[in-house]
Structure 1
Amino acid sequence: MHRPRLAALFSALLLVVAGCAAPVANPDADADSTADGSADWSWPADPPTDRLGWEAGYWHNESIAVNQSDGLNATEREAFVARTMARVEVIRELEFTEPVPVEVISRAEYRNQSEDESDPFYADWNDQVWEALLLVGEDRTIEDVFDELYGGSVLGYYSPSEDRIVLISNGESPTINRRTLAHELHHALQDQQFGLDETPPTQDGQLAENGLVEGDARYVDRLYEERCAADWECVPRPGGSGSGSGAVDYPVFLTIYTPYSEGPTFVYTLRERGGWAAVNDAYADRPVSTEQILHPRDYPDEKPVEVTIEDRSSAAWTRYDTDPVGDTVGEASIFTMFWKHRAIDRDKLRDDPGAYSAYNYTAGPATGWSGDLVVPYRPASDAEADSNPHARGYVWKTVWDTETDARQFESAYLTRTLKLRLGARLVAEDTYVVDDGPFADAYRVTRRGETVTIVNAPTVEELDDVHARE
Structure 2
Amino acid sequence: MKATRAFVLVAVVVLSTITAPAAAAGSAATSTSTSVEATQPSTATPLPQVETGTDEPTTNGTIGYVEGYWYNDSLPADDRDDGVLEEDELEAVVYRAMARVEVIREKPFQEAVSVDVITREEFEAENGDMFGEFEDDERLYHNVRFESLFMVDRDTDAVEEYKAMYDSSVAGYYDPATDEIVLVSDTPETPATNEVTLGHELVHALQDQYVGLESNENETRDEANARNGLIEGEAVWVDTEYEDRCQSEWDCVLPDEQRSEEPPQLNWGIYFTVFQPYDDGPDYVDYLLEQGGWDAVDAAHDDPPASSSEVIRPGEEREPADLEIEDRSTDRWERLETDEGPDYSSFGEATMAAMFADGAIAPFESSVVGAGEFVTFDDDGYVADIDYDQPYTDGWAGDRLVVYATDERTIEESGYVWRTEWTSDSEAEQFLDGYLELLDIHGADPVDGRQDTVVIDDGYPGAYYVDHDGTTVTIVRAPSVDELPEIREGAAPAGEDTLVFEDANETDGTDERSGADDESDELPGFGVGAALGAVLIAVTVARRR
Q: Is 2:281 the partner of 1:263? A: yes
1:18 Cα deviation from its structure 2 partner: 5.9
Partner deviation per Cα, 1:344-399 (whole Å, 9 max, x = no partner): 2331223499xx983111111101100000000001x2xx33xx432110000000
Q: Is 2:47 the partner of 1:21? A: yes
Q: Is 2:116 the partner of 1:103? A: yes
Identify if the C-alpha distance between structure 1 residues 244 and 221 changes in structure 2 by more than 3 Å, giving closer, same or farther.
farther
Partner deviation per Cα, 1:225-257 (whole Å, 9 max, x = no partner): 111122222223344388997411112111110
Partner deviation per Cα, 1:414-463 (whole Å, 9 max, x = no partner): 1x111244333233443433342221110000011100000000000000
Letter in 1 for 2:203: H
Q: Is 2:367 the partner of 1:342? A: yes
1:26 Cα deviation from its structure 2 partner: 2.3
Which residues of 2 match residues 68-467 of structure 1 at below 5 A?
69=82, 71-113=84-126, 114-115=128-129, 116-171=132-187, 172-199=189-216, 200-240=218-258, 246-298=264-316, 301-322=317-338, 323-340=341-358, 342-351=367-376, 358-379=385-406, 381=407, 384-385=408-409, 388-414=410-436, 416-467=437-488
Is contact 2:173–2:181 with CA below 8 Å preserved after alignment? yes
2:483 aligns to what SS in structure 1? helix
RMSD of equivalent CA atoms? 2.4
2:529 matched residue in structure 1: none
User: How far apart, in 1, do the equivalents of 2:175 and 2:279 lie?
Assistant: 21
Identify if the C-alpha distance between structure 1 residues 230 and 68 changes in structure 2 by more than 3 Å, giving closer, same or farther.
closer
Identify if the C-alpha distance between structure 1 residues 318 and 119 changes in structure 2 by more than 3 Å, giving closer, same or farther.
same
Of the three residues 58, 62, 75, the one matched with 1:64 is 75
Is contact 2:153–2:460 with CA below 8 Å preserved after alignment? yes
1:270 Cα deviation from its structure 2 partner: 1.1
2:356 aligns to what SS in structure 1? helix
Is contact 1:334–1:366 with CA below 8 Å preserved after alignment? yes
2:506 matched residue in structure 1: none
User: How far apart, in 1, do the equivalents of 2:158 and 2:135 lie?
Assistant: 13
Partner deviation per Cα, 1:247-291 (whole Å, 9 max, x = no partner): 111121111101111111111111112111111110000112111
User: How far apart, in 1, do the equivalents of 2:285 and 2:207 lie?
Assistant: 14
Partner deviation per Cα, 1:111-139 (whole Å, 9 max, x = no partner): 11151212331121122121111211211
Letter in 2 for 1:5: I
User: How far apart, in 1, do the equivalents of 2:261 and 2:184 lie?
Assistant: 9
User: How far apart, in 2, do the equivalents of 1:96 and 1:319 lie?
Assistant: 46
User: How far apart, in 2, do the equivalents of 1:68 and 1:151 lie?
Assistant: 25
Of the three residues 47, 57, 72, the one matched with 2:57 is 47
Letter in 1 for 2:289: R
Is contact 1:212–1:266 with CA below 8 Å preserved after alignment? yes
User: How far apart, in 2, do the equivalents of 1:425 and 1:330 lie?
Assistant: 28
Is contact 1:104–1:168 with CA below 8 Å preserved after alignment? yes
Letter in 1 for 2:122: E
User: How far apart, in 2, do the equivalents of 1:191 and 1:209 lie?
Assistant: 14
Structure 2: runs of 5+ lacking an equivalent: 1-13, 26-30, 38-45, 359-365, 492-545
2:482 aligns to what SS in structure 1? helix
User: How far apart, in 2, do the equivalents of 1:357 and 1:204 lie?
Assistant: 24
Q: Which moved more, 1:87-96 or 1:268-277?
A: 268-277
Identify if the C-alpha distance between structure 1 residues 10 and 4 changes in structure 2 by more than 3 Å, giving closer, same or farther.
farther
1:296 aligns to what SS in structure 2? coil
Is contact 1:262–1:357 with CA below 8 Å preserved after alignment? no
Letter in 1 for 2:57: P
User: How far apart, in 2, do the equivalents of 1:9 and 1:357 lie?
Assistant: 25
Letter in 2 for 1:309: I
1:11 Cα deviation from its structure 2 partner: 4.3
Q: Which moved more, 1:18-27 or 1:435-444?
A: 18-27
Is contact 1:155–1:243 with CA below 8 Å preserved after alignment? no
Higher helix share: 1
Is contact 1:261–1:357 with CA below 8 Å preserved after alignment? no
Is contact 1:127–1:142 with CA below 8 Å preserved after alignment? yes
2:11 matched residue in structure 1: none
Is contact 1:263–1:293 with CA below 8 Å preserved after alignment? yes
Is contact 1:138–1:439 with CA below 8 Å preserved after alignment? yes
Q: Which moved more, 1:193-202 or 1:211-220?
A: 193-202
2:250 aligns to what SS in structure 1? coil
1:459 aligns to what SS in structure 2? coil
Is contact 2:82–2:255 with CA below 8 Å preserved after alignment? no
User: How far apart, in 2, do the equivalents of 1:343 and 1:320 lie?
Assistant: 30
1:30 matched residue in structure 2: none
Is contact 1:52–1:95 with CA below 8 Å preserved after alignment? yes
Q: Which moved more, 1:173-182 or 1:10-19?
A: 10-19
1:57 Cα deviation from its structure 2 partner: 0.8
2:433 aligns to what SS in structure 1? helix
User: How far apart, in 2, do the equivalents of 1:211 and 1:242 lie?
Assistant: 28
User: How far apart, in 1, do the equivalents of 2:248 and 2:420 lie?
Assistant: 48
Is contact 1:251–1:339 with CA below 8 Å preserved after alignment? yes
1:168 aligns to what SS in structure 2? strand
Structure 1: runs of 5+ lacking an equivalent: 28-43
Letter in 2 for 1:109: E
Is contact 1:368–1:400 with CA below 8 Å preserved after alignment? yes
User: How far apart, in 1, do the equivalents of 2:133 and 2:293 lie?
Assistant: 44
Is contact 2:376–2:385 with CA below 8 Å preserved after alignment? no
TM-score (norm 2): 0.77
Is contact 2:183–2:193 with CA below 8 Å preserved after alignment? yes
